[in-house]
A and B are shown apart, each in its own frame.
Chain A
C-alpha cells in the first residue's frame, strides 16, 4: 500500500488528496444534477452522513478502513433513498428546497447528538486516507460513472433530464430510475465523506453546511453540467486555484471570484459543457493529422 508514500512532497500530496476527494464528491453530484437534471442543494449532507458513519465505524467499533468506507457509502445511500422516495417526485425548485432543508435538519440533529460530540464534533479519527487509496477510489468512481453514462441506464437518465414526460411515454419508469440514480449519487458522496473524515481527522457539523453543498455544485457547474471530464476539471481547478493564488494573499478570494465570473461569462455552459469529449479528442487528432499532412506535402513541394 505504501509505494506511493513519500513519492511527492507532502504538501502536493495533501492537495492531490483534497482534489481527489472533491472529484469523487463532484462526480456524485454531477450524476444527480448534471446527467439527470435534478438540482440538489444537499450534497454536503450525504457527505456528512458518510463522514460521521465512517468515523463511528472506525473509532467506536474499531473496524478496518475498508469496512468504514463501505458502511459510509451504504448508509449515505440508504438516507438518499429514504429522502429521495418522497422528494424525487418533486422537480426543479421544489427538489432544491427539500434537499436544502434536509441538510439543515441533519446539521441540527448532529448539533444535538452527544454520541457524536454535538457541536464539539468528533476528534482523533485515524488518518487512513492516503494518496493511493484516494486515487484508487477516484478512478473506480470515474470508470463507473463513464460506463454508466454510456449504458442504457445512463441514456435513460439523460432522457429524463431532457424531457421527463416524453421519457415516460417511451416506457422509462422515471421515478424508479431517478431513485436508483440518487442512491448511486449519494453513495459516492458517502465515500467522499469517509475519505474526508479520515484525512481531516476532526468532524464538526458546521463543516457540512449549505456552503459546502454550493462549493461542490460550483465545481459541477463550472466544469459543465453532465460532463464527466468537465466535472473532474472543475473539481481540480476549484481546489487548486485557491492554493495557486496563495501568493496574492488578501486579494486571493477576490481573484478567485473574478475568475469564476469571467469563466461563466465566456463559457455559460461550463468549461466542458456541450462538449463531447470523445468526439473532441478525435477531431483534434484529425486536425493535427491533416495539418501534419499539409506540412509534409508543402515540404515535399519545396
Chain B
C-alpha cells in the first residue's frame, strides 16, 4: 500500500511536470512560429465546433477557410498570406474569453471573426475592444453588440431589418392582419425577435389577436394551439427555432386549422423544420440573409466553388464566414496595413461591399445594412425564394 502511494505521488508529480513543460513548450513553439511566419496575416476564428451551436461554427469556419485560400491563391493580402487560426469553445463563455486572450496575446491576430451567437460575442467583445483588435461577428443578430466599442463590427442580416421587412410583406402584400404571436421564452434570440415582430406588426397596422409562450425543448403544444384556434388568426408568427416550429405546425394541422401557415425568423432555417413538420410546414415563410436561388454572378461563382471544395450546398453561415474574411481583407488593402488600429477606420467606412450573401454597408455605429432580405417559403419540403426585398439606407 505504501509503495503504491509513493508511486502515485510520483505519477501525480510527473503529470504536473508534463503539463508545465507542455505549456512552456507550446509557447516557445508559438514564438518560433511567429518569427518564421512573420509575414502572415492572422485572422482568428472564434466559434463552437463541438457544442450546442457547432453547426454555426463549423460552417462559418468552412467559409472562412475557403476565402483565405482564394485570397492566398490570388497573392494574399498586402503581399502576405492570410492564415486562419481556429479554436473551439464548446459554447462555454469562460473558454471563449480565454480563447480571445490567446488570439490577441499569443497568436497576435489582426482580426477575430466570430462568434456566430450573440451571447458569446457579448462576452468576448469587451476583451478585443479593450485590446484594440477588430472583432467582426458573422452571425450575431441580437441587440447591444456593436455598442460595446469602436472595434466591434458585425455583418449579418439583423433581426431589426429582416423582422420588419417580413411583417411588412405579410400584412401589406398578403393581407394577413390578424396575427398570433408565439415566443420561446427560454431562447434569447426568440425573445428579442418577438419584440421586433410585435413593433413591426403594430407599425404596419396589423393586430396581435393572441400571444402564446412556449419553451425550447417542449414537445406538447396542444394548449397553446387551442388558444390560438379560438381567436381564429390569419397567420401564426413564431420567433423561435425550427424544432419547436415544426412541432407547433403539426399540432396546428392536427387541431383542424388547414390553411394557416407559420411565419418566422431565420431560426426556422434548417431541414429539421420539415423533417419534423412534414406537410404541415408547407407554405411557411421565413426571412434569411442568404439564398442560393437567383444568385448574382459573384454568388453563383461562390456556390459552384463551394460545392467543388466541400461537396455540399453552402448555407447562410458558410456565406457569412466567407464574406467576413473578404470584408476584413478589403479594409486592410484599403488602409495598406494589417494593424487593427489602422485598418479599423477603413473597415468602418465599408460601403456597398459586394459579398456573396448580399451587399454590405456599415453605418456610423458599425451596424451593417445588408441588402437584400431574402423571403423564403417552404415548397415541396425545401426552401424556395419568395421575394428579394431590397433594404434602403436611412
Which residues in A have some Cβ–Cβ distance to B below 8 Å?
Answer: 9-15, 18, 21, 107-108, 111-112, 118-121, 123-124, 127, 196, 199-202, 204-207, 233, 237, 240, 242-244, 246-247, 249-250, 252-253, 267, 271-272, 275, 280, 283-284, 287
Contact = CB atoms under 8 A, between A and B. Distances in A.
Contact of B191 (A13, A120, A201, A250): A120
Given A15-B98, A244-B19, A284-B9, A200 B185 contact: no
Contacts of A272: 12
30 contacts: A9-B106, A10-B101, A10-B105, A10-B131, A12-B23, A107-B186, A108-B186, A119-B188, A119-B190, A120-B192, A121-B119, A123-B122, A124-B144, A200-B97, A202-B119, A204-B119, A204-B188, A205-B186, A242-B90, A243-B98, A244-B19, A249-B49, A249-B86, A249-B88, A250-B50, A252-B88, A253-B50, A267-B8, A275-B5, A280-B5
Chain B contact surface mostly? helix
Interface of B: 2, 5-6, 8-9, 12, 15, 19, 22-23, 26, 49-50, 86-88, 90, 93-95, 97-98, 101-102, 104-106, 119, 122-123, 126, 131, 142-144, 185-188, 190-192, 215
Contacts of B143: 120
A120 B188 contact: yes
A243 B106 CA distance: 13
Given A119-B191, A244-B19, 7 more contacts: A13-B101, A120-B191, A202-B122, A204-B119, A205-B186, A247-B26, A249-B88
A120 B186 CA distance: 9
B32 to A, nearest CB: 14
Contacts of A204: 119, 188
Contact of A201 (B19, B88, B126): B126
A112 B188 CA distance: 11
B88 A111 contact: no
A206 B101 contact: no
A43 B168 CA distance: 47
A11 B19 contact: no
B104 A18 contact: no
A284 B119 contact: no
A118 B191 contact: yes
A14 B142 contact: no
A83 B192 CA distance: 33
Contact of A14 (B8, B86, B97, B123): B97
Contacts, number: 106
A228 to B, nearest CB: 15
Q: Which 4 A-B pairs have the closest CB atoms?
A: A119-B188, A111-B186, A11-B101, A14-B101
Contacts of A247: 26
Given A127-B126, A200-B123, A233-B12, A242 B95 contact: yes
A233 B191 CA distance: 41
A12 to B, nearest CB: 8
B19, B49, B123 interface centre (most CB from chain A within 10 Å): B123
Contacts of A118: 185, 188, 191
A204 B52 CA distance: 15
B67 to A, nearest CB: 19
Nearest to B104: A10
A46 B234 CA distance: 45
A259 B280 CA distance: 46
A13 B131 CA distance: 15
Contact of A284 (B6, B101, B126, B187): B6
A280 B9 contact: yes
B135 to A, nearest CB: 14
B23 A244 contact: yes
Contact of A275 (B8, B15, B185): B8
Contacts of A205: 186
B87 A246 contact: yes
A119 B9 CA distance: 46
Contacts of A252: 50, 88
